[in-house]
Structure 1
Amino acid sequence: MILRFTLPFHTTWGQRLVVCGSEPSLGSWNLAQALNLHYSPASGIWSHEISLPDDQAGTVEYKYILLDERTGNEDWEWGANRRVEYDGRQFSRIVQEDYWRAAAQPENELHTAAFTQALMRRPARPASKAAAATKPAARLADSVVRFQLVAPRVDSDHLLCVLGSDPALGAWDARKAVLLSDTSYPTWTADVALEHPERTTQYKYGIWDPREKKILHLEAGDDRVISPSADRKTLRVRADEGFRYPTGHWRGAGVALPVFALRSRRGLGVGEFPDLKLLIDWAASTGLKMVQILPINDTTATHTWVDSYPYAAISVFALHPQYLNLDEIAEFREAADRQELEKLRDEFNELDFVDYEPVMKAKWQFIKTLYQQEKAAFLADPEFQAFREEQKSWLVPYAAFSALRDRFHTADFSQWPAEFQTPQNLDELTAETQPDFDEFGLHFFTQFHLDKQLREAVEYARQSGVVMKGDLPIGIYRHSADAWTQPELYHMDQQAGAPPDDFSTTGQNWRFPTYNWERMAEDGYLWWKQRMSHLARYFDALRIDHILGFFRIWEMPGHSVEGLLGHFSPALPLHRHEIEQRLGWFDHGRLCEPYIRWHILTDIFKEQAEAVKNEFLDEASFGVFHLKETVRTQRQIEALFEQKLAADPHNSEHYVWLRTSLYKLVNEVLFVPAEQADFYHPRITLPKTYSFRELDEPSRHRLHDLYNDFFYRRHEEFWRDQGMVKLPAVRYATNMLICGEDLGMVPESVPGVMKALGILGLNIQRMPSDPSVEFGHPNAAPYLSVVSPGSHDMSTVRGWWEEDPIRTQRFFENTLGHWGEAAPYYCEPWVAREITAQHLHSPAMWAVFPLQDLLAMDADLRRANPLDEQINVPSNPTHFWKYRLHLNLEDLVQEVGFNHEVQQLVIKSHRLQVY
């Protein structure tokens, strides 16, 4: 039999099309041996054919590739491999009438799991019945047309149909439309033997309501056309371009809240995975189609409140034990345990914040009791055994790491006994036959039940038509199972963070090691693919934290505490000769050593200047000072003041001020050294230094030009290439909808790369990407983006409203449109409602709101003090993440009036409708 490929496509000189696939005649996926297509100028169609066995049935997979002989580019069409099933006993010829699938199209993102697994999830139907209803039998001698359309955007209660001029397609009688099968959703198919194949056939696809038995929407645009054919025993596969919706792009709305902040009556002082079902119920009742959370990985490093920081995971795979609901595991056999649990539940649930340490202490106590109680049945459970085998690559190292952390009272594995500092024989170490197995078995038990409870909540969300959106932290914790098992993947002597921004004027130092991208590339970014695959176990959408890190990360040496002495990595540093050429001179002491003069000391330290000079400085010459050897670095200063604070806690306020002021002296440089000798990076925000201001005017002018060129022009193509190498491996490792947190100092190349890869950007009204405006407007957001009034790193809308009344007045007039009116001092409910509505009417695919900002619309439901609603303060590296919703979710679900108001806002913005 013959398989013919046809593809209408316009090329330019030097371009050609090939088809590569699973058959030897298609190159067996070797592009060098792909099948060349031939172009017909008369029809504008590229085509060629291959032979397949006459007496067999099988499947061919293939893709089209555009080759450019001028540039050497090889552009594979977007999407999964095409598949054609053939049966030489039924047809002697198959003609694939395909269309090119272009990358970077907005509708491509509707093919992600967010839509196919949750929003447009197909209900279970009897397969045989569906096939019989939508696939007319074709006689052997017939010429059959297979209508094939990839269309994920079809409501779960609806079907696709095809209506056309041929009597077999209903002769344009809508009641006789042919229904397509969703057996291979999101691909819809129907085989039709046309009654008049010798005539031109016109047709269109439509949305069919099976309950009303009518077409709801017929697609827009001109009729599709099938050319006449006299072929017999031929299958024509009309692999059509997408459904042409008459109602524009799909748009949805969602809510954001960390799991730890969920409050329910059954929780133990902290949100737990089963509580997600309550939030999902509330979201579904209000028309919100997404629930977005913060990272949920285990962060247990110190067993103190410091572990509340959700971005410092000790494993990028393991889940945090705080989210485990004890009741869903088993009931305690001992009455005393049951009474103690209820007593602590009442006590912790009375608190208006997450009291991390007591909660975790209690939780571990109960988990250990349940483990011993259920141990025999648990270890024999086939479901656990399957889980352990499937997840062993991370589960065994994690259990070993966690047990050794507790055995040696530190997560810093460099402090463990030598035989444990590098992992070895972990299967043997954690074997059930070992006398100390319970140390490790406890963590197997905990992770198994966490995984089970989370997957139940995720499946509940999918069944409710709600997308669960997770969060991927950009870094890993320095003392983690990941660093313990694969230290070669990280630069352990460096620190990751962010340059100065609206969150922190001195930059952010997350203290995570940076990635060794060169080593990661050697195995095709396997670690990232494993990480993404594991996240896809739980989520259909994902926020990538600080996606700029895939282009370049802000890297600081180990001796830095603040972020100002960092540099972008990778980067193209300046050689001293280039600096000398651009500046006209190079003096290492003046440019690269802290610039400290007496008048600077008096400006920073005021009347304390003399005491500071005597204790911390050496005088190099009159009025010129150097820091003493013991306080040359910020880490040395930090260590010294830790001792002072411990010895004299009553003077802590003074010591913190003094320490911060000494950090300023260390930062007083204009260039920081690169790894290579004689290469340097300009210090970020150097125009704000005393050192810069006290240069002569020509030097200031030339240095400012060099600075702007370095940070805003020199690296654009370089960083674009970095992103295009690293991000595709992460983006295409799963079918999740990917959103990137692209706030801060964003290279110009980033939006283009994200668009090319179908990654949604983030638009925060208070942090506009356009530097020429003070506030972003949701109406200016592109379709492939998420708009939000704020994030977990910001004050809520109500808190922000009260921070600066003058700025608020400008926002009230210029962004909300209240020209000439006085802004209310407090963010009144009607103001919060206007801000919410403004975001909902944005053209962006998603509008996602912190729950606190939605509750701000109701005077009775919102929290009394907006300052208690902020989740994180990025400028504070020791922030206690303890925010907890002040309402029980059980009660919020019952707030009919408020929930109706939210739903009406969503409906009016057309974010609740599928078409």
Structure 2
Amino acid sequence: MQDGRGGMDGWGIDHGYHATNGEWHETPAATRDAIRAAMGGAVDEPSAPEGPPVWTVPVGWGGETLRSPCRLRLEDGTDVGVVEALPPDLPIGRHRLIPVDRGPATLLLVRPRSCHRPEDMRRSALAVQAYASRSRQSWGIGDLRDLRLLGHWAREHGIDHLALSPLHAPSPGDHPQPSPYYPSSRRNLNPLHITIDEAPGAANDDRIRSLGDEARALLADRRIDRTAVWAAKRQALQLLFEGLGTTGHRELDAFRAERGDDLERWAAFCTISEDHPGTWRDWLTELQHPDSPAVARYVAERADRARFHCWLQLLADRQLAGLADVAPLVTDLAVGVDPGGADAWIDQDQLALDARVGAPPDDFAADGQDWGLPPSIPHRMREDGYETFARTIRASLRHGAGIRIDHVLGLFRLFWIPPGGSASDGAYVRYPADDLLTVLAIESERAGAFVIGEDLGTVEEGVRDDLATIGVLSTRLVYFEDTPPSQWPSNVGGAVTTHDLPTIAGTWTGADGRLRSEAGLSNDGAGSLRASLERLVGDGDASVEDAVVANHRALATSPVDLAIANLDDVLCLEERPNMPGTVDEWPNWSIAHPDPVDDLIAGPPPATLESIRRTSP
């Protein structure tokens, strides 16, 4: 897909873009040169390396004669042998056709008809910020037991899914990154959410009980102190690991064998990080690449520490599986990773580490947005056979019945900010969307999990059609749509708001505007958000509870496949989880719910929860 004003160059860099006001912005030559250099290209190279040929066929396709005999090697390593035509029984996946004569191997993508779609796809989901829902037993932050309690409560009252904020792992330092959308690793889990009391050996250990009493004192403050939480949890986990018995170590060995490189490299990163402050780019040169002999020696000398970090992942994985057994999960995949974190260290050859992803200046952000995330280099993804992309999707689907892809538009194009530049200097870079959507469909079908794409913002013509064709649900918000949910199409995950926008109560009472003013931000657009709610309420003087019920009931009775309600709205909370444009001015991703989960599930369900239950449109 190309921009109607002249397409892109040989590196996939668009010649320009239309701003939200329709004005055309030409890509400056300096920006083009800087982005090309960030991809590893020289100024005089007209185009990126082509990479291996890619051939996509639908599952069941067979009999077509190849140009020359090829050895067919399946994704799982099975060697089918030399073939002269495609067998009709090829499984979905990323396979290889290796010419018997000289020539490059072809990446053969055998795709399903679409992403997985359950037959009974008319469902509801309760969206939860994992850190915010705390019980009286929490160690200062919402954990996987708290979410299990919440999931059981939601299921009891007719809600189909629990939709979680990303559970991606932050870097393993003393001060964990609060934003779940700025992870160190998207393929490993955040140990902050481990329920210590349910770890092996914790029940009868007075030392753990004492640490827990100290950590529970943190519940007195609604602002989550991740530094204090992690200090207590890490100490407890180290004590428990030291007492791990033979059975526990055998289970850990089996888990390490199952998870393979994704886990081992994460453990290596954590082990080195413990002794080396700063980011991995500050480490000794010999440790800056995961495949170096020095890394292997370092981890071998500290094998017990690597086992400890693997064990944390085992605990988190098992507890997450227990949650998924209670409430089918919709997981969340962040758009990128911390450039100083584990995945950037592991995948550094595929990333433009000095460039950043963001958004161009528009009516909502006059200076544009810089998300601080390094973009993947398109031709390197292809050279990799999309293996890293597939592993990342697969990890997020490990215990998920569905997945939300943050900024799914990035599968088509991303706004790159060149090294040393600002968002106003950026340009769009194209990605191999057809290939990426095919890989997404393969992993979705394998996992039996549906896919929602967060496609908000400026969406190019044809993109939503492409997403619908491959079976990705679009995202629609009451706040942003001119029509009521009753007129929305079915292939939608519908909601009123998101974590980056005001809650219903914040808009209805005007509290969000006051909070934005206190944070030094303008409140432009608040009137239109209020008007969006009023259209479905019908009474501007209605209570907050009535406004929440009316808007959720409109979603629940609409044609959309997935009706999503935020727990913050069910509880009629005025504070939003995240306020874009702030750092210290607002406690982003750090506000816990005012009441413990125990009280919520012990009482009668609020009408705001009942309004989410699906009924006929």
Sort the TM-score into its range (normalised by shorter chain): 0.7 to 0.9
Q: Is the 8 A contact 1:493 1:557 kept in 2?
A: yes
Aligned-residue offset at 1:851:
0.7
Listed as ranges, the matches of 1:827-838 within 5 Å are 828-838=544-554
- Which residue of the partner structure matches residue 724 of structure 1? 434
Q: Is the 8 A contact 1:764 1:776 kept in 2?
A: no
CA distances 1:701-742 after superposition (whole Å, capped 9, x unpaired): xxxxxxxxxxxxxxxxxx8xx422332222322322011000
Please give the secondary structure, in 1, of the residue aligned with 2:570: helix
- Which residue of the partner structure matches residue 444 of structure 2? 734
The amino acid across from 1:398 in the alignment is: W
| Compared CA separation, residues 503 and 400, structure 1 to 2 (3 A) | farther
Please give the secondary structure, in 2, of the residue aligned with 1:756: helix
Distance in 2 separating the partners of 1:543 and 1:537: 13
Q: Is the 8 A contact 1:269 1:348 kept in 2?
A: yes
Distance in 2 separating the partners of 1:501 and 1:851: 30
Distance in 2 separating the partners of 1:509 and 1:783: 33
Q: Is the 8 A contact 2:485 2:558 kept in 1?
A: yes
TM-score, structure 2 as length reference = 0.75
- Which residue of the partner structure matches residue 767 of structure 1? 480
- Which residue of the partner structure matches residue 147 of structure 1? none
Q: Is the 8 A contact 2:507 2:530 kept in 1?
A: no
- Which residue of the partner structure matches residue 787 of structure 1? 494
Aligned-residue offset at 1:328:
1.5
- Which residue of the partner structure matches residue 240 of structure 2? 370
Aligned-residue offset at 1:308:
0.8
**Alignment partner of 1:505 out of 345, 357, 366:** 366
Please give the secondary structure, in 1, of the residue aligned with 2:598: helix
The amino acid across from 2:252 in the alignment is: F
**Alignment partner of 1:413 out of 280, 287, 312:** 280
Please give the secondary structure, in 2, of the residue aligned with 1:529: helix
Please give the secondary structure, in 1, of the residue aligned with 2:355: strand
The amino acid across from 2:167 in the alignment is: I
Distance in 2 separating the partners of 1:30 and 1:894: 65
Distance in 2 separating the partners of 1:506 and 1:831: 34
Aligned residues: 506
The amino acid across from 1:472 in the alignment is: L
Aligned-residue offset at 1:765:
1.7
**Alignment partner of 1:750 out of 454, 459, 463:** 463
- Which residue of the partner structure matches residue 504 of structure 2? 797
Asked if residue 547 in structure 1 is aligned to residue 253 in structure 2, the reply is no
Distance in 2 separating the partners of 1:341 and 1:416: 33
| Compared CA separation, residues 806 and 529, structure 1 to 2 (3 A) | closer
Aligned-residue offset at 1:269:
0.9
Distance in 1 separating the partners of 2:407 and 2:309: 30
Distance in 2 separating the partners of 1:264 and 1:453: 16
| Compared CA separation, residues 808 and 421, structure 1 to 2 (3 A) | closer
The amino acid across from 2:423 in the alignment is: G
The amino acid across from 2:485 in the alignment is: P
Aligned-residue offset at 1:20:
9.1
| Compared CA separation, residues 549 and 806, structure 1 to 2 (3 A) | closer
CA distances 1:394-445 after superposition (whole Å, capped 9, x unpaired): 11111111121120122x11211222122224555434xx3x3333222112
**Alignment partner of 1:259 out of 114, 123, 130:** 130
Distance in 1 separating the partners of 2:417 and 2:163: 31
| Compared CA separation, residues 299 and 565, structure 1 to 2 (3 A) | same
The amino acid across from 2:468 in the alignment is: K
The amino acid across from 2:495 in the alignment is: S
CA distances 1:133-170 after superposition (whole Å, capped 9, x unpaired): xxxxxxxxxxxxxxxxxxx44xxxxxxxxxxxxxxxxx
**Alignment partner of 1:439 out of 280, 305, 314:** 305
Q: Which structure's CA Rg is the greater one?
A: 1
Please give the secondary structure, in 2, of the residue aligned with 1:492: coil
- Which residue of the partner structure matches residue 609 of structure 2? 902
Please give the secondary structure, in 2, of the residue aligned with 1:842: coil
Q: Pairwise CA RMSD of aligned residues?
A: 3.1
- Which residue of the partner structure matches residue 454 of structure 1? 320
Asked if residue 290 in structure 1 is aligned to residue 290 in structure 2, the reply is no
| Compared CA separation, residues 336 and 880, structure 1 to 2 (3 A) | same
- Which residue of the partner structure matches residue 565 of structure 2? 849
| Compared CA separation, residues 271 and 254, structure 1 to 2 (3 A) | same
- Which residue of the partner structure matches residue 97 of structure 1? none
Distance in 1 separating the partners of 2:180 and 2:571: 24
Aligned-residue offset at 1:468:
0.5
Aligned-residue offset at 1:890:
2.5
- Which residue of the partner structure matches residue 266 of structure 2? 398
5+ unaligned residues in a row in structure 2: which ranges?
1-56, 69-86, 92-107, 514-524
Please give the secondary structure, in 2, of the residue aligned with 1:265: coil
Please give the secondary structure, in 1, of the residue aligned with 2:443: coil
- Which residue of the partner structure matches residue 537 of structure 1? 398
| Compared CA separation, residues 301 and 445, structure 1 to 2 (3 A) | closer
Q: Is the 8 A contact 2:188 2:313 kept in 1?
A: yes
The amino acid across from 1:451 in the alignment is: D
Asked if residue 337 in structure 1 is aligned to residue 198 in structure 2, the reply is no
| Compared CA separation, residues 311 and 904, structure 1 to 2 (3 A) | closer
CA distances 1:220-258 after superposition (whole Å, capped 9, x unpaired): xxxxxxxxxxxxxxxxxxxxxxxxxxxxxx522111012
Q: Is the 8 A contact 1:836 1:854 kept in 2?
A: no
Q: Is the 8 A contact 1:269 1:355 kept in 2?
A: yes
- Which residue of the partner structure matches residue 388 of structure 1? 256
| Compared CA separation, residues 501 and 295, structure 1 to 2 (3 A) | farther
Aligned-residue offset at 1:527:
0.8
TM-score, structure 1 as length reference = 0.52
CA distances 1:833-857 after superposition (whole Å, capped 9, x unpaired): 111112222211111011111222x
Please give the secondary structure, in 2, of the residue aligned with 1:880: coil
Q: Is the 8 A contact 1:263 1:886 kept in 2?
A: no
Distance in 2 separating the partners of 1:809 and 1:439: 53
| Compared CA separation, residues 731 and 564, structure 1 to 2 (3 A) | farther
Q: Is the 8 A contact 2:132 2:591 kept in 1?
A: yes
Please give the secondary structure, in 2, of the residue aligned with 1:317: strand
The amino acid across from 2:582 in the alignment is: N
- Which residue of the partner structure matches residue 148 of structure 2? 277
5+ unaligned residues in a row in structure 1: which ranges?
1-17, 34-58, 64-75, 81-102, 116-151, 154-249, 462-466, 571-718, 769-774, 857-862
